[in-house]
Every structure is written in C-alpha cells, then in structure tokens.
Amino acid sequence: MDRRLELTEDALNGAERAALAILAERLWDARWALAEEWSRRLMASRPDEFPPWLTLPQLSDVNAAFLAGVLEPLRSGDLAGLSRAYYGMNRQLIEFALQGSPDSRLSLASLYASARISLQVIGEHLGPEEERLLVAYAKLAAHLMTLVGLAYSDCREAALQRSRDELEAMVHERTAKLRETNEALQAEIAERAREKRFSDAIIDTLPGIFYLFDHNARFLRWNVNFERVSQYSGAEIAEMSPLDFFEGADREHVHERITQVFRDGHATAQADFISKDGTRTPHFFTGQQVVVAGQVCLIGTGIDITERKLAEDALQRRTEELARSNADLEQFAYVASHDLQEPLRAVASYTQLLARRYEHRLDGDARRFIERTTAAVGRMQALIRDLLAYSRVGTRGESFGPTDCEGVLREALENLQAAVAETDATVTHDRLPVIGADPLQLRQLLQNLIGNALKFRGERPPVVHVAARRIDRMWRFSVRDNGIGIEPEYAERIFVIFQRLHSRRTYPGTGVGLAICKKIVERHGGRIWVESRLGEGTTFSFELPVRPLAQRALAAAS
Amino acid sequence: MLPDGERTRAVEILLVEDNPDDIDLTIEAFRESSSASRLNVVENGVEALAYLRREGDYAAVPRPDLILLDLNLPKKTGHEVLAEIKTDPNLRRIPVVVLTTSAADADVTRSYDLAANCYITKPLELEAFFGVVRLVDRFWRDAATLPR
C-alpha cells in the first residue's frame, strides 16, 4: 500500500467509528444475503459490462468475500487495516476484470455504481430507525471509493502498458514470422515454377506424345504433341480416358498393357492412335509406373512408327516378291531340267540313230553335219545343266554348318582327279580351317576355281596352291595358279554369267562356272575377286565371314 | 540262247510313256535287241490301268509279262500308277521297271517304297540307251523267271 491516502483516525470521529462498529456487527450474519441482492441489482443495472461467462452465484461469492473483508476490520475499529484490505481487494478485482482485455468495459463509473447499489441494499436492510449508522457508513464509503479510484487508475495504467507491450511484441514477432514464411514460400514457388518450366520444355520437345495418368485413367499431364496429334484440346483431354484413343483389338491390347504397367512396373504396346477426325496413326507406346503426389501413376511416351511400318511393309512385300521370284526360278529349273532337255535329247538321239542306221550310205559331209549337230546339242545340254546349277545355288542351298575345309578340298580334288592326271598338275594347300558354311557349295566353289586353274593352263604343267588365313572377322581363301592369266580389264566381267574371254575352240565351256562361284560366295555373305598378270598366273580370292560354329541353322535368306 | 520249248510265246511288254520321241526310240531299241519281245504302248496312267484291267477297248489284250513305266505322265503320275498296280492283288506280281529321265533321289526312293522291281535312269547318249534297253530285255526275258 504505497498510496497517499490512508484511512486514519482523522477521517472519522469517535461516534462515527462506534456506529460503524455496531453496523458491522449487525451486518455480519446477513453478509451472504446482502452480497446476493447487491450482485443481482448490479448485473441488472449494467448488463453490458459483465462478461457472458460470469454467473450470478460467482459474482455473489466474490461480493460476499468483499463484504467480509470490509466488515471484519470495522468490527475491531482498525481503520488502517480496513483501507489496506479494501485497496488490495479492489486491485485484485480490477486486474481480474482487465485481464487479457485492455479495452474491457469495466469502467470506474461501474465501480461507483456498484458502491451506490451496495449502500442502497444495506440501507434497506437496516430500516429508517438506524439512519445514524447508515450516514456513518456512507461517509466511510466515500473514503473507500477514493481508494477504488486509485486502485483502478493504477491497474488501468499498468494493464494498458502491459497490453501495449505485449501487443507490440506480438506484432513484431508475427511480422518477422510472416516475412520468414513468405520468403520461403516465394522461394519454393519460384523453384516449382523453374522445375515446371524445365520439365515442360523437356516434354514439349519430345519427338512423340507424352502422357501421365493415374490409376483411375485420369490424365494429369500431357505435352503439346499430344494435343496436336490427337486434335483434342487440353480441356477435352482432361475429361478423357487413355482408352478413348483406341478401337477394337488395339483397345484390348492397350488396356492389357496398362494393367501390366500397374502390376509389373512397365510395359510397351504397339497400336493405332486415333485422332479426333478419325485418323489412325501407328504408334509405339511405353509405360512406366511412377508415384506422383502419393498416388501410383503411369508415365510414358508414344512414337509415331508410320515410317517404320511402311518400311516393314515394303520389306515384307519385297521378301514376298523375292520368295515368288525364287519359286519362279525353281519352276524354271524344273522346266529346264525336264521339258527343255527332252526335245534336245530327241534331237541328239535321232541324229545318232540316223548315223547308226545309214552310216554306209552317208558321205563325208553328211557325217560331219551330223557330228556338228550332236556337238551343238551337247553344248546346249551343258548350258542347261550349268544354268540349272546356277539357279539352284540360291534355291537348293543347305544350311550353314561346321565345315572342314580340308575334307571339302579333298572331295573337290577327287572329282578333278582325271583333269589333274591329264595335265600333270601339282596342287598344294595350307592347313585349312573348319568354318561355318554349306559344305556342298564350298566343295563346288573350290572345285570350280581349281578346275579353272587346270583348264586355263599355259605351256608348263599347272601348279596350284590353295591358301587360307583369318583376317579379323573373315576367312580369306585364295587359289593361285601359274596359268595364262587374265587381262585386268576383264577382272569384273569374268564373274558375269555366260561371259567368256576365249573362243570355244581353245577353251570349251559355258561361262557359268565363275558366276556360280560368285553366287555361292555371296550367299555366304562374302565377296570374290581376281588378281592376275597376263601370262604369269592368276589368284582367285574369296572371303567368308567367321560364323559361330554351334549355330547350325544360320541359313542365308533363300 | 533260249533253250527250245522253254517259252512258247513272245514276252509281252507294256510301255507306259507319253513322249512320242521316246516311244519310237524305245521301239527301235527293242527292235535292235530281239524279235522275241512284243511292245505294247499306252500314253498315260489312266490308259495303263485300263489296259492292265482289260477295260473298254482293252478287253482282249494279253496280260503283260513286264511293265516299263515312265514317271512324268499326264492324268495319273507314274508313282500313282505304280501304287495302284502294287496294291492290286491281280496285278502286283507283274514286274515294274521304272524308266525315266529323272535321277532325283526322291523319285528313286519313292519308287522302291512303292515296290518297283527296278529303277533305271534313261541315259542321254543313244548308244548307252540302246545298251540299257538290251540289258533290260535280256534280263527279264532270259535270266529272270516270271510268274505265270
């Protein structure tokens, strides 16, 4: 109690102090009833000034305690004690009323009103005959109200200051926090925008269409190509399902593959993508399971494979044409071997029969003409036979299996035995490898080349060497001779079918042998060439690709 | 060469061949070989079976002792004719010599599978062909015992 006013002995005279002691004694027992009546009238007179949560019994309890605090020191005549208690109690009350609410409606006026009402209630309780006691009490009350005013202004000022400080601190804190949050938010928004611009740039520059849709087949994202190819607007796509872009068997297929992505993680599909105007474009689609914002989605791209399809179709057509042309060739081979041979055989037979039956009646010219006819038929038969062999290189080839070139060369030399003996030839060879090839054709190849070496021999007995060595992924074979040689300008032409460099009289033949060699080498995926010096000899070389020997069924397309 | 009384009639040969050049050449070859064989000719597979079963115009023809069968025939192929002959209880004992220009393994194998008695590829040379015909004629006429 640091206030200037203290209620002292001087404030009241002795008679008044005695009267107040009697009053206090009288009111002590009635303090509960007084407090209740006082509270009721107070709430009724200033209903706006009480918080809604404050009930009448609560206010009555507070006022009863207040009365007790006043009456106790009055009974004992301790005025200083009374003023201290009164000041303290009021301070508590006012602080309570102002708590957390600096602009509380509790005003000094309402406190004075409260004091007036308490005087009225007490007066009614005492009745008119004890006027003297009441006047003494009113005088006391006036003093007490001064204390209330002091307490009120103390509290009010402190509360205001406190509230102002609190508010200021709060505003400060809030502002700082808000600024912090705002900065983080701005940074995140900027980052998100950058990321989106980047991913948009990626998906919009993809060559194909891009899509992202969730488990309920709702599109979450797509690129500009998607809108361009489908011809639907973004708003339309947002309302569509991925299956809306497919029809018939394709729709089933795509549905199956989408299910697979959600089950296994990824899948691909090939189907016609149908645009708004009904255009069908063959596409290759990919799908990958991803989790976006907590839900499982499918992300993927589709690539227009029209070109590839066209190329495939063209290839398919060409393959079919080739197969047809091979079948035609096969048919030709059959015709050549039977229908073409038969009349020839008849010409030969009847010419010979003529010679046989009429030998003694024919003169020299007639016999010579018959010989010429027979020889011509023989050449025709040889041509047909060789042509047949040539056509069969492609159509009758065996698959490529492990082929021992030593054995193959041995067979070829056995077939050439007569020619080797007749020409007194020497044939030598390197150690030859085992390669993946068609053994029958390889035998024919070596036989034709060595046969050529023996046939186009010079004055000396032929010396032939067969060599083989591996160069990277190829086996290079060569057949070198010491024969008449070939002029370089004919190096290419000799491999063309029916091309001959010599007259039939000096070197008989059909001009098919080397064409067959070329065809065999090419069927094996290799190449053949010749190097020669006129009069010194010739070297035929061919290269065959190295094949894995285990792979037997590697037949060339035939 | 033939013991007297061993055979009382000429050997009847049925030639099944569609090529007139080959027919004439075969006739010439048999003519040079002997006069003891009689060559009858039909030009397709259907005719061949009608002949063997003595149907229609062939009611009075003799039963052949030997059949020379070409494979490349119109209407019914030589293989089909061969199969019918060898599954017919009345005909299957008659020896069938396949005489054809084909040297294909498939034709040879199929013919023997169908119970051909012999497979001969016609030589291209006249002399060789005449030689083969002489061999066939001699073998089946003189060396082999034929069913009655």
pLDDT tens-digit map of A412-454: 999 999 999 999 999 999 999 999 999 999 999 999 999 999 9
Percent of chain A with pLDDT over 70: 92
Residues of A in contact with B101 (CB under 8 A): 338, 341-342, 345
pLDDT of residue A255: 95
Closest-CA residue of B relative to A355 is: B126
Percent of chain A with pLDDT over 90: 31
> Would you say residue A1 has pLDDT above 60?
no
User: In this structure, is residue B62 part of a structural domain?
Assistant: yes
H helical segments located in A359-404? 364-395
- A337 vs A420, which has greater pLDDT? A420
Tell me the pLDDT of chain B averaged across its residues. Answer: 88
pLDDT of residue A558: 37
Q: What's the rounded Cα separation, in Å, for the pair A304 and A301?
A: 10
> Would you say residue A45 has pLDDT above 50?
yes
pLDDT of residue A78: 79
> Would you say residue B1 has pLDDT above 60?
no
Percent of chain B with pLDDT over 70: 93
Confidence of residue A251 (pLDDT cuts 50, 70, 90): very high
Give the helix/strand (H/E) hosting B123.
none
Confidence of residue A9 (pLDDT cuts 50, 70, 90): low
User: In this structure, is residue B4 part of a structural domain?
Assistant: no
pLDDT tens, residue by residue, A293-319: 888 999 998 988 888 888 888 888 998
User: In this structure, is residue B132 part of a structural domain?
Assistant: yes
> Would you say residue A556 has pLDDT above 50?
no
**Is B25–A350 a contact, with Cβ atoms under 8 angstroms apart?**
yes
**Is B19–A342 a contact, with Cβ atoms under 8 angstroms apart?**
yes
pLDDT of residue A6: 60
CATH of the domain at B36: 3.40.50.2300
- A101 vs B74, which has greater pLDDT? B74
Residues 17-56 of B with CB under 8 A from A: 19, 21-22, 25, 28
> Would you say residue A555 has pLDDT above 50?
no
User: In this structure, is residue B82 part of a structural domain?
Assistant: yes
**Is A346–B127 a contact, with Cβ atoms under 8 angstroms apart?**
no
> Would you say residue A285 has pLDDT above 90?
yes
Q: Residue for token digits 């611009």?
A: A197
Which tokens go with A489?
A: 């300008």
Q: What's the rounded Cα separation, in Å, for the pair A250 and A269?
A: 9
> Would you say residue B5 has pLDDT above 90?
no
pLDDT of residue A3: 46
Closest-CA residue of A relative to B22 is: A346
B6 inside 8 A of chain A by CB: no
- A393 vs A222, which has greater pLDDT? A222
pLDDT of residue B3: 47
Per the structure, the complete domain to which residue B63 belongs is given by 12-141
Confidence of residue A92 (pLDDT cuts 50, 70, 90): confident
Residue B125, min C-alpha distance to chain A (Å): 7
pLDDT tens, residue by residue, B32-67: 887 688 899 999 999 999 999 999 899 999 999 999
Residues of A in contact with B77 (CB under 8 A): none
**Is A338–B72 a contact, with Cβ atoms under 8 angstroms apart?**
yes
> Would you say residue A275 has pLDDT above 80?
yes
User: In this structure, is residue B136 part of a structural domain?
Assistant: yes
Shortest CB distance from A338 goes to which of B25, B28, B101? B101
| Distance (Å) of CA B64 to CA A438, B27, B54, B118, B134 | 48, 16, 11, 16, 18
Q: Which residues of A395-406 are buried (b: 16+ CB within 10 A; e: fewer)?
A: eebeebbebebe
Confidence of residue A129 (pLDDT cuts 50, 70, 90): low
Q: What's the rounded Cα separation, in Å, for the pair A451 and A453?
A: 5
User: In this structure, is residue B3 part of a structural domain?
Assistant: no
- A442 vs A55, which has greater pLDDT? A442
Q: Which residues of B99-130 are buried (b: 16+ CB within 10 A; e: fewer)?
A: bbbbeeeebbebbeebebbbbeebebebeebb
User: In this structure, is residue B146 part of a structural domain?
Assistant: no
> Would you say residue A109 has pLDDT above 80?
no
**Is B124–A338 a contact, with Cβ atoms under 8 angstroms apart?**
no
Substitution target in B105, B122, B124 with the highest count of A β-carbons within 10 Å is: B124
3-class SS at A428? strand
Substitution target in A337, A341, A349 with the highest count of B β-carbons within 10 Å is: A349
Label the pairing between strands B11-16 and B66-69.
parallel
> A478 - beta bridge partners?
A467, A541
> Would you say residue A101 has pLDDT above 60?
no
pLDDT of residue A166: 77
Q: Is the ipTM of this complex over 0.85?
A: no
Number of domains in chain B: 1
A vs B: CB pairs below 8 A = 33
**Is A342–B127 a contact, with Cβ atoms under 8 angstroms apart?**
no
> Would you say residue A379 has pLDDT above 80?
yes
- A554 vs A341, which has greater pLDDT? A341
- A322 vs A527, which has greater pLDDT? A527
Shortest CB distance from B129 goes to which of A338, A342, A349? A349
Confidence of residue A241 (pLDDT cuts 50, 70, 90): very high
> Would you say residue A102 has pLDDT above 70?
no
User: In this structure, is residue B148 part of a structural domain?
Assistant: no
Cβ count near A103 (within 10 Å): 8
- A174 vs B57, which has greater pLDDT? B57
pLDDT of residue A378: 84
Cβ count near A143 (within 10 Å): 18
Residue B19, min C-alpha distance to chain A (Å): 9
Residue A345, min C-alpha distance to chain B (Å): 6
**Is A356–B129 a contact, with Cβ atoms under 8 angstroms apart?**
no
Residues of B in contact with A356 (CB under 8 A): 126
Confidence of residue A491 (pLDDT cuts 50, 70, 90): confident
**Class of residue A224 by CB neighbours under 10 A (exposed 0-12, middle 13-18, buried 19+):** middle
